[in-house]
Structure 1
Amino acid sequence: MFFRIALTFTALALVFSPQTQAQEKKFTASPGLQLYSLRSSFKLKGVSRTLDTVKSFGITNVELAGTYDLSAEAFKQELSSRGLKAVSAHFPYARWKKEPEAVAQEAKGLGLEYAGCAWADHKAPMDEPQAREIAATFNKAGEALAKVGIKFFYHLHGFEFQPWKDGETLADLIIKETDPTNVKFQMDVLWVVFPGQDPVKLLEKYAGRWELMHLKDLKKGVATGDLSGKTDVENDVTLGTGQMNWPAILSTAEKVGVKYYFIEDESSISEKQIPASVQFLGSVKW
């Protein structure tokens, strides 16, 4: 009898032990916001009122896509007065190609940790010569930013997944041809899934190169496999309601070293969807 009771207590201890409970993990990173999500609000309500809205979401880290007619210093002050910090920003490809040093100085003035590019100018469909030219531009951009202590990154947008060789794509070529020290990458999950790629496999294949991520969900029922880099903005839906396997994506992102996560919602109802996405991220488990 004593032996049977002892076994029962041992089994219960295993079920409720801290080690067993620790097997379930949660998304604990603090999600930021790509401010492009509120571009309409910036135009209609102005910078101050829009940043008040960002603060109300409980967000502290932001990614910039312009400063909406304010100087870098004035925009930085608007952020700071609300406890918001600009971690990264997107700048046009043409500027990275023509004046990377000038962009680097702007990025430094904004106090950024990362500065990058969200769309590489190209003639569709992208081909190998264009991909190699883009990689060379990014290497120069990375060198210019490294001199001022900032990291360069590229945000893949889907059109880079044109077939290349040996089962790989031009995205593989760009990643392989860029300096891993100076050129990092930002995975926008929608712009990986929409072209028909697997974000988990891509994260694992280039572990250490992904340091930023755009959290964006694709409406259920939308077909994938499109390499245009374009889709209706209304296909951006609240995180957790679309096609993405967020537990698998986020757990892998954590393992491969993603440092910053930004919600990006380009839909016309982004102000409504963003708080719901923040709430969803607080409940994700794996």
Structure 2
Amino acid sequence: MQTTLKSISIGVLVMCCVQVFAQAKFGKILKDMPGVVSYTYRNEFAKDVPKTLDNIKALGVTNIEFSNLFGKTASELRTLLDARGMICTSYGVSYDALLNKIDQVMEEAKILGAEFVRVAWIPHTAPMDLALAQKTVADFNRFGQKLKENGLTFCYHNHGFEFLPYGKGTYFDYIVQNTNPDYVSFEMDILWVFHPGQDPAALLKKYPKRFRLMHVKDLKKGVVGDFSGGTPTENDVTLGTGQLNLPKILKAARKTSIKYFYIEDENPKASEQVPLSLAYLKGL
């Protein structure tokens, strides 16, 4: 009986959050209502794309960063978005796709209406070293130039392993400092800055013009980070309940070139957590 009442209470709270925050304004702490990353709703999208879009819009969220087309063509997905007054501002693809299918990537991104093309993983079988960092820089500059020539902006989404120490900083510093800022921008995933022991707010202040996108998320209390670039998805928690100092990070982000903020929640219970995360952001 207690379990049933608890489930009902959570459901009522989520529905209240949906109703209140569908019309919320986020001007004080964010530049606009945050979007969401499609991976947050990956299980729901895999079952029913139109219904999932409807559920996301019911939260007041209309901006999605897609990193999967979920069995649709780019044109089909764009039609579904347009019918709901929703947009895709960033298109996430694999490193291999940029190496071998960049023309297809550009075509799909333009059909979706995306401004940014993002990659979130550098293929590697060992910890990052200088040789890999140098190859990454060369690839990123090439990707970025090609995309810019076609009206798109390339962004790299950090994933933790780039923060191994190198010289007076980290390999992430090396990548930022050696890529052409005209061609290469970055999407900060704040969890994957914090997890390897870095300060997201300090990194934003260090490179205010290089970050254009942000994944807003939180890490379960007690989790100890490392340079692996991985943690169980259950360690993604509702914003404001974990380890990250979100007010400090988001305040620093307002002074950068970040254009779009996206909530990313990899937890299997993300659909329950996202409304509560929106409530937290509204309350800041």
Return the TM-score normalized by structure 1.
0.87
Deviations 1:217-242 (A, max 9, x none): 00111113x00000010000000111
Corresponding residue number in structure 1 for 2:9: none
Unmatched segments (≥5 aa) in structure 1? 1-24
Corresponding residue number in structure 2 for 1:35: 38
* 8 Å Cα contact 1:145/1:151 also seen in 2: yes
* 8 Å Cα contact 2:29/2:254 also seen in 1: no
CA drift at 1:28: 4.6
SS at match of 2:88: strand
Aligned AA for 1:134? Answer: T
Alignment of structure 1 residues 28-67 onto 2, 5 Å: 28-44=31-47, 46-67=48-69
**Whole-Å Cα distance in 2 between the matches of residues 77 and 160 of structure 1?**
37
**Whole-Å Cα distance in 1 between the matches of residues 204 and 76 of structure 2?**
37
Corresponding residue number in structure 1 for 2:166: 164
Corresponding pairs, count: 258
Corresponding residue number in structure 1 for 2:137: 135
SS at match of 1:241: coil
Alignment of structure 1 residues 67-106 onto 2, 5 Å: 67-106=69-108
Identity %: 44
SS at match of 2:254: helix
Corresponding residue number in structure 2 for 1:270: 270
**Whole-Å Cα distance in 2 between the matches of residues 109 and 52 of structure 1?**
21
Corresponding residue number in structure 1 for 2:151: 149
Aligned AA for 1:87? Answer: T
RMSD, aligned CA: 1.3
Where in structure 1 do 4 or more consecutive aligned residues deviate above 4 Å?
none
Corresponding residue number in structure 2 for 1:242: 242
**Whole-Å Cα distance in 2 between the matches of residues 165 and 254 of structure 1?**
30
Unmatched segments (≥5 aa) in structure 2? 1-27
**Whole-Å Cα distance in 2 between the matches of residues 120 and 196 of structure 1?**
19
CA shift in 2, pair 1:233/1:96, >3 Å: same
Corresponding residue number in structure 2 for 1:7: none
**Whole-Å Cα distance in 2 between the matches of residues 219 and 88 of structure 1?**
27
Corresponding residue number in structure 2 for 1:227: 227
**Whole-Å Cα distance in 2 between the matches of residues 43 and 281 of structure 1?**
28
**Whole-Å Cα distance in 1 between the matches of residues 157 and 29 of structure 2?**
26
Corresponding residue number in structure 2 for 1:22: none
Return the TM-score normalized by structure 2.
0.88
* 8 Å Cα contact 1:27/1:282 also seen in 2: no
Note if 1:208 corresponds to 2:188: no
Aligned AA for 2:208? Answer: A
